Amino acid sequence: MSAKKSVAVSKLSDEEAARELETLAREIAAHDKRYFADDAPSVSDADYDALKKRNAALEAKFPQLIRPDSPSRRVGFAATEKFGKVKHGIAMLSLENAFSDEDVSDFVERLRRFLSLGADEELAITAEPKIDGLSASLRYEKGKFVLGATRGDGEVGEDVTANLRTLGDIPPVLKGRDVPDVIEVRGEVFMSHADFAKLNKEQEAREEKTFANPRNAAAGSLRQLDAAITKQRPLKFFAYTWGEVTKLPGKTQTEVIEAFEAWGFPTNPLMTRCVSVEEILKYYAKIAGKRASLGYDIDGVVYKVDRLDWQQRLGFVSRAPRWAVAHKFPAEQAETELLEIDIQVGRTGVLTPVARLKPVTVGGVVVTNATLHNEDEIVRKDVRVGDTVVVQRAGDVIPQIVRALVEKRPKGAKAFKFPEICPVCGSHALREDGEVARRCSGGLICPAQAAERLKHFVSRNAFDIEGFGSKHVDAFLADKMIAHPSDIFLLEKKYGAGPKAIAAREGWGPQSAAKLFAAIEARRTVALHRFIFALGIRHVGESTARALALNYGTADAFVTAMTAAADETSTAFAELNAIEGIGEIVAKAIAEFFEEEHNRAEVARLLAVLEIEEAEKPKSDTAVSGKTIVFTGTLEKMGRNEAKARAESLGAKVAGSVSAKTDILVAGPGAGSKLKEAQKHGVKVISEDEWLQLIGDA
């Protein structure tokens, strides 16, 4: 399962993340189906949660890669470990969608048929805006608010009682005497446009994360671990339906909503009652016309059968009521001129085309930029600078270019030529076979990627420079004290930033500055595999770096061979490709890295300031040489990395998962699935002490 063998999110490239998100979407959807539709779960809750967590972590790190079919979108958001879980006694369902007038009249006709209504029998239907927020269920017992939950996946939500209590719109105690023993009032938590704009401004001023849209802001605000933060966020609530209830306060939808209002809930003032398709469609047109001036996001109109006995008879189909439908607004579109196509370089080096537009209002929002996704998309849509284009905003997504109006194309408009040179650093921008993204190959020197690369360079498994955290990298970079990794070792020499100057900076003192310089000095001598890993070459993770170090032995030999391997027809390339564990893709990535002159120059600068240790050749005559070892559980005598390095230095291969090819599983306390797997394959299982004895370290 993907969550088990997962690489740290921070180490993934855009492509890798996109690929994993795709697999996760598929995997989670399959589990959802088995769990929710077939009632036959095939994984444990914990394993399922791990997948969801991984998906969430990837999405947090790569928000631009969130898929339309993401498991986090499909269900609003899934119950996470963050909050306690609440199993909804009555599921929080979704609604069927209607997109056209015809869909709506079909809906009404279906209702009439199902209820066998005569031609002149009245069928009242309520109509109300569909709020674009997140739904919540509020449980009241004897009139007191006792439990509040998010929708989660519809069956299980998150316990956000404390947070919901902070909303002024949610009464802690229901007003009036005629209150049922138990009632779950359900509705939408949302943020108004004005409050959203204000919040984002404040967040920006505090240098905190801003939100992409009011719905995200509402969700993010509600799902705070600290309810005091939720309290400061201007969240609103509209009540529109219910879950478990001991006695309903009315016989129609309208009457129940009126009771909600009497108990102290805000309900939507635009809710109305219609008795014909014509009235319904008129209402839809009216709301569509008001949409931009409502002050909060809506994405359609919801119609519900008014009589509750009829709702009961109509019941549900799969996950939605037969008695209701959501009439969605079409994506909002507008025409405007494409002024320019700019290329942005992301932190991982991906070149993304951005359309600069003549400002145009789309659904009440002024749009000046739109994404063009990638090179192929521009070709596919044949979008050219100067074109009149159709721009679309659908829900919360970033504006998109739908198409170019070829009939309006100015004479001489040329097809866009996607740059093959990084616009930020001038290195070659390359596309790997089968990849849509073109990326800058100047990883080490490209300012667009500098922060990410430097953070990687100083990270634990690379140079491991203690006291040089992410924040410091950002600050030093911003103040132009470092640009390239080699600058870290030249702080004093090149930039005059010695311990004294650093100590004078905000957040530093003499002690921390002295410590930093000591840490940097300590790393002037470094193991070859760490050096190679620190370069941040695409596809070169720790184990590949180790394989390279072992194979080439010294930094000089490595750099000479790699520079020669930049020519992919060379024997040096063939040799590289032949190293165990290195395939074509990895070899090519390394060759491309060294093909880039800027990178070679930085490597040379690094070699000038560093002392790189020779890699110890693994022994070939030990008890474990040539054996495949897997470690699992807690190791008590040494860290996992250390154990791995030791095993490798003795000529063993260390694998991450157990298979029939595994020779030995070293199992510490807490060993779980790997132990089972080993038993299944008849793999030899030993304790950490037995392992140390075997390798002569006991």
Nearer to ligand IVH, 397 or 436 (CB): 397
Separation between Cα atoms, residue 107 and residue 333, nearest integer Å: 27
In whole angstroms, the minimum distance from the beta carbon of 318 to ligand IVH comes to: 12
Residues with Cβ within 8 Å of residue 223, at least 6 apart in sequence: 77, 82, 83, 150, 158, 160, 163
Counting DSSP H helices and E strands in the chain, the numbers are 27, 26
499: three-class secondary structure by DSSP: helix
Separation between Cα atoms, residue 257 and residue 239, nearest integer Å: 8
Sign of the Cα torsion 570, 573, 579, 581 reads negative
Separation between Cα atoms, residue 261 and residue 259, nearest integer Å: 5
Residue with tokens 């693994």: 618
* Whether the Cβ atoms of residue 655 and residue 694 lie closer than 8 Å to each other: no
Phi/psi of residue 649, each to 5°?
Answer: -70, -20
Residue 130 bears catalytic tag: yes
H helices of 463-554, in order, are 470-478, 485-488, 491-495, 499-503, 510-522, 528-534, 542-552
* Whether the Cβ atoms of residue 140 and residue 183 lie closer than 8 Å to each other: yes
* Whether the Cβ atoms of residue 513 and residue 497 lie closer than 8 Å to each other: no
317: three-class secondary structure by DSSP: strand
Length of the chain: 698
683: three-class secondary structure by DSSP: coil
Separation between Cα atoms, residue 258 and residue 523, nearest integer Å: 71
Nearer to ligand IVH, 267 or 632 (CB): 267
User: Residue type at 627?
Assistant: K
Per-residue CA distances from 271 to 131, 296, 602 (Å): 12, 15, 65
In whole angstroms, the minimum distance from the beta carbon of 149 to ligand IVH comes to: 13
For residue 68, give both structure tokens. 């339309």
Of 339, 160, 158, 173, nearest to 233 by C-alpha is 160
Per annotation, catalytic residue among 52, 130, 588, 644: 130
* Whether the Cβ atoms of residue 438 and residue 415 lie closer than 8 Å to each other: no
For residue 297, give both structure tokens. 């996001």
Nearer to ligand IVH, 14 or 132 (CB): 132
Torsion, Cα 125 128 129 133, to 10 degrees, reads: -100
Separation between Cα atoms, residue 307 and residue 314, nearest integer Å: 11
In whole angstroms, the minimum distance from the beta carbon of 38 to ligand IVH comes to: 22
Q: How many CB atoms lie within 10 A of CB 677?
A: 18
Beta pairing partners, 140: 145, 183
The H or E element that residue 46 is part of is helix 45-61
In whole angstroms, the minimum distance from the beta carbon of 132 to ligand IVH comes to: 7
In whole angstroms, the minimum distance from the beta carbon of 335 to ligand IVH comes to: 30
* Whether the Cβ atoms of residue 278 and residue 259 lie closer than 8 Å to each other: no
In whole angstroms, the minimum distance from the beta carbon of 106 to ligand IVH comes to: 18
* CA geometry: angle 252, 255, 257, nearest 5 deg: 110
493: three-class secondary structure by DSSP: helix
Give strand ranges (E) for 233-350: 236-245, 272-274, 298-305, 316-317, 320-321, 324-328, 332-345
Pairing status of strand 628-632 against strand 653-655:
parallel
Q: Which residues bind ligand IVH (CB under 6 A)?
A: 93-95, 128, 130-131, 135, 151, 188, 240-241, 302, 321, 324, 326
393: three-class secondary structure by DSSP: strand
Separation between Cα atoms, residue 138 and residue 125, nearest integer Å: 25
Separation between Cα atoms, residue 343 and residue 528, nearest integer Å: 36
- The residue nearest ligand IVH at its CB is 135
Nearer to ligand IVH, 320 or 501 (CB): 320
Separation between Cα atoms, residue 314 and residue 323, nearest integer Å: 6
Pairing status of strand 324-328 against strand 97-98:
parallel
Active site residues: 130
